[in-house]
């Protein structure tokens, strides 16, 4: 199963990627909204998107995916929730 992890902080991206790979997931990682949107056009099954991404924020990435009918179960993490 292919998963997209889009987080602004490198350490968190690495931690999440390693944890998912340990569970046999194929993981795509990126650090900004534009790259997340490009990767989301691929064959994703799940996604984790940071709300406060540089460029395009996480919500606009998810909205764009919905308009293009590229939908997948996703979770988001607002900074206020930390």
Break the chain into its structural domains and give their ranges: 2-77
User: How confident is the model at residue 11, as a pLDDT?
Assistant: 92
Phi and psi torsions of 25, nearest 5°: -90, 145
E strands of the chain, at which residues? 2-6, 26-30, 46-50, 74-77
Rounded distance between C-alpha atoms, residue 65 and residue 13, angstroms: 21
Q: At what angle do helices 33-40 and 58-67 cross, to 10 degrees?
A: 30
* CATH 3.40.50.2300 fits domain 2-77: yes
Tens-level pLDDT at each residue, the chain (82 residues):
788 888 888 998 899 999 999 999 999 898 888 888 888 777 666 777 777 788 888 788 878 877 877 666 566 555 544 4
Check if the beta carbon of residue 20 is closer than 8 Å to that of residue 47. no
């Amino acid at each position: 199963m292919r998963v997209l992890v889009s987080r602004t902080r490198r350490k968190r991206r690495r931690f999440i990627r390693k944890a998912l790979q340990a569970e046999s997931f194929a993981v795509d990682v990126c650090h900004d909204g534009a790259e997340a949107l490009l990767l989301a056009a691929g064959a994703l099954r799940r996604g984790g998107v940071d709300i406060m991404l540089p460029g395009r924020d996480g919500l606009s990435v998810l909205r764009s995916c919905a308009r293009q009918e590229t939908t997948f179960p996703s979770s988001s993490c607002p900074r206020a929730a930390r």
